[in-house]
Amino acid sequence: MKEEIRDKEDILVSVSCITYNHGKYLREALEGFLMQDCDFKYEILIHDDASTDDTPDIIREYEKKYPNIIKPILQRENQYSRGIRNISGVFNFPRASGKYIAMCEGDDFWTDPEKLKLQAEYMERHRECAMTLHSACILHSDGAYHASSMIRPYEEDRPVSAEEVISKKSNYPTASLMIRTEYAKELPEYYFKCPVGDIPLQIYMASRGTVYYFDRPMSVYRQGAEGSWSSDIDSGESKKKWEEHYNSMEELYRDFDRETGGKFRTSVKEALGRERFLIDLKEGRLKALKEKKNRKFRDELLPVERRLLLLKLYCPFMWGFLRKARLFFMNRS
């Protein structure tokens, strides 16, 4: 672990970490920050949103050991419940001293000691670059890694066009993002309005400069217990939330389209089409899923997911039989 030699002067990277009840995971995140092997100074900005577990105590412990590196904000009142959705942009980005901001939430962690060096050095060599990212491993709720479980948007190191960022087929790992601080301090209104912070940040950065992807898994995304894509959503409240999510994303992309003068309109329309398709998939709207315009999005699904969907669409009796059989054996086990 690095000695305590960093100060505010000449900091190259600010690490932005937001936490809420991450006591079980936070030490792993902090150790991932502190193990970075680089020849430049960096700071760790932590915002805790009034956690009720031992998260604040862990932050104080590390702050005491590394007072010039660990720079916390410990809220007494939960800011998310007050309607502040994009905590990073409100509390961490404005106080960043570094030229670049690297992101990682308190329940994810970094695994590669060269992560900051690799991304920062690339951005130093390419002044037009607004954002870099990389692949990540997925840690499942059972504590297991699976060979096929990765967030890997692309299959090689390469530049990523703005159009690809706007209408991407795969999510980008939050803990992989490094952005240029000067842009993070002048975020547009649509970033603060949107309840999902990553997407408006990514498309804004893509509109400000180039983007580069490293096909190297340097972080871990910790996946909670979630239902599969094929789980039925029966409650009206769940459906209401999905519709609210779509409406928020539609407003985001419309605002972005307006801000960029329609420059990326084709990609915006495709991104909204994919959002609509995925929500129809979760809600089981079979008629909508069959529509010709959704063929492209059906083809983007993983092979097993695509086969199951086609079975559900065109052989519903077989789908129903297999689903009942699966539930029967699950209940017996």
Q: Are residues 293 and 161 in the same domain?
A: no
Provide the pLDDT for residue 329. 58
Does one domain contain both 18 and 63?
Answer: yes
Q: What is the pLDDT of residues 5-15, one digit of tens each?
A: 344 469 999 99
- Do 75 and 170 share a structural domain? yes
User: How confident is the model at residue 149, as a pLDDT?
Assistant: 80
Confidence grade of residue 192 (pLDDT, cut at 50, 70, 90) = very high
pLDDT digits (tens, 9 = 90+) for 255-300: 999 999 999 999 999 999 999 999 998 888 888 898 999 999 989 8
If we measure between CA atoms, which residue out of 115, 104, 50, 107 comes closest to residue 82? 50
- Domain-embedded: residue 2: no
**Domain identity same for 181 and 263:** no
**118/79 same-domain check:** yes
Look at residue 303 and tell me whether its pLDDT is greater than 90. no
- Of the three residues 222, 256, 272, the one that is the final residue of a domain is 222
pTM over 0.85? The answer is yes
Q: Which domain covers residue 245, as residue numbers?
A: 236-332
Q: What is the pLDDT of residue 17?
A: 98
59 and 165 inside one domain: yes
User: Around Cβ 304, how many Cβ atoms within 10 Å?
Assistant: 8
Q: Is position 4 within any domain?
A: no
Residues 146, 246 share a domain: no
Residues 166-189 have pLDDT tens digits of: 999 989 999 999 999 999 999 999
Same structural domain for residues 46 and 182?
yes
Q: Is residue 126 predicted with pLDDT exceeding 60?
A: yes
CATH number of the structural domain spanning residue 171: 3.90.550.10
- 143 and 243 belong to one structural domain: no
Q: Is the pLDDT of residue 232 over 70?
A: no
Report the run of H or E that residue 305 belongs to, with start and end: helix 303-314
Query: What per-residue confidence (pLDDT) applies to 227?
Result: 29
For the segment 21-30, what is each residue's pLDDT rounded down to a tens digit?
A: 999 999 999 9
Q: Do 187 and 104 touch, CB atoms closer than 8 A?
A: no
Q: Are 103 and 197 in contact (CB under 8 A)?
A: no
Do residues 187 and 314 share a domain? no
Residues 312 and 195 in one domain: no
DSSP bridge partners of 41:
11
Answer yes or no: do 125 and 271 share one domain: no
Mean pLDDT of all residues in 99-104: 98
| Number of domains the chain contains | 2
